[in-house]
Amino acid sequence: MAKLILSDNTTFEGKPFGADASVFGEVVFNTGMVGYPESLTDPSYRGQILVLTYPLIGNYGVPGDEKDEFGLVKNFESEKIQVSGLIISDYSEKYSHWNAKKSLSDWLKEHNVLGIYGIDTRMLTKKLRENGVMLGKIINGSGYVELSDPNLRNLVAEVSVKDKTVYNKGGGKKIVLVDCGAKLNIIRSLIKRGCEVIRVPWNYDFPKEEFDGLLISNGPGDPKMADITIKNVAAAMEKDIPVFGICLGNQIMALAAGGNTYKMKYGHRSQNQPCIENGSKRCYITTQNHGYAVDMKSLGNGWEEWFVNANDGTNEGLRHRTKPFMSVQFHPEAAPGPVDAEWIFDKFLEMVK
């Protein structure tokens, strides 16, 4: 037996799987139907307990952790499971896939993460939708854990790399990737386009590096916690260095430009968010994972809204009218999710002279 207890004391009973631990975090839901290995390793989920609304999880097991020629793990978005806990409806103990190496439960166990299944995830999701995201904990058996708010921690610092790493050295354009919790597919996407990627910690003093373009990655939590990054980005923008932000990077760009961000009620976590490119009839289906958004009104005249969410009108991207700054709130690197917005990387590289 395991229990999910929300901060308002609502309790759901289910069965535990994965590690024998008890966990806490901010409870958020994702409506994507595929890609649990990618989602669970997405550093943006740091500090969060993830609810998957698709009820059947574990079906195709978990692939191995082999690395590619650039030293990146092939099958995941970071080297570990990032979520604090996992909440699902129906767990498939028996998995089936040619590329699977282990079950989801064994994988969770390896990373000391607890999962709970047998939960009415739809009921839970509706609750989160109505109340906004909530803190919660999963108690395994007679375990105990104290509830605390992960958003008060510097989550970006927790997930960022500790040292500078260079990938595809000698590649064409040199891109500094400020790792606020970067998904590995961002690096893969750049390498695929022939770039040399200089991955640096969130607080790295990158202006001292020699490079062609700057990419501020996705990452967990409140963008305002990444104060050093914001300052550094502002400095780079002063020098008109081409900057591209993804997700948290979009928010950091806005903050660096003097704008503001706010916490959304329950955020966007899914693979089906429609984003309209302003001034066109084009709409892109995007993958998203964020709980904060840019307040468009807070930005100065130099900025324009590039993309807007077709469902709720929130900001989905920014562009400077005259300078080489652009950012998107969604994930052009996908993983998991649709790859329709991959062209944004090309757009960025066009901007990088």
Catalytic residues: 247
CA distances from 69 to 74, 175, 176, 185 (A): 9, 19, 20, 14
Using CB under 8 A, list all residues that contact other proteins.
Answer: 12, 29, 31-35, 37-38, 53-56, 59-60, 63, 89-90, 92, 94-99, 120-123, 125-126, 129, 270-274, 276, 280-283, 285, 310-311, 334-340
* Nearest to other proteins of 48, 229 (CB atom): 48
CA distances from 47 to 147, 159, 162, 199, 305 (A): 12, 10, 19, 23, 30
* Nearest to other proteins of 129, 231 (CB atom): 129
Q: Report the C-alpha gap between 179 and 184 in whole angstroms.
A: 10
* Nearest to other proteins of 60, 70 (CB atom): 60
* Nearest to other proteins of 232, 286 (CB atom): 286
Q: Report the C-alpha gap between 149 and 165 in whole angstroms.
A: 31
* Nearest to other proteins of 53, 261 (CB atom): 53
Assign 233 to helix, strand or coil: helix
Shortest separation between residue 60's beta carbon and other proteins, angstroms? 5
Length of the chain: 353
Shortest separation between residue 267's beta carbon and other proteins, angstroms? 10
Shortest separation between residue 203's beta carbon and other proteins, angstroms? 32
CA distances from 59 to 91, 93, 98 (A): 8, 8, 12
Assign 38 to helix, strand or coil: helix
Shortest separation between residue 89's beta carbon and other proteins, angstroms? 6
Q: Is the Cβ–Cβ distance between 40 and 48 less than 8 Å?
A: no
Specify the DSSP element, H or E, that contains 191: helix 184-192
The pair phi, psi for residue 169, each rounded to 5°, is -55, 140
* Nearest to other proteins of 239, 281 (CB atom): 281
Report the greatest alpha carbon distance in the chain: 60
Q: Report the C-alpha gap between 165 and 162 in whole angstroms.
A: 9
Shortest separation between residue 282's beta carbon and other proteins, angstroms? 6
Q: Report the C-alpha gap between 91 and 145 in whole angstroms.
A: 24
- Among 85, 138, 93, smallest CA distance to 111 is for 85
Q: Report the C-alpha gap between 43 and 159 in whole angstroms.
A: 6
Shortest separation between residue 170's beta carbon and other proteins, angstroms? 28
Q: Is the Cβ–Cβ distance between 21 and 113 less than 8 Å?
A: yes
Quote the distance between the C-alpha of residue 236 and its chain's center.
Answer: 24
Shortest separation between residue 353's beta carbon and other proteins, angstroms? 29
Q: Is the Cβ–Cβ distance between 204 and 348 less than 8 Å?
A: no
* Nearest to other proteins of 15, 169 (CB atom): 15
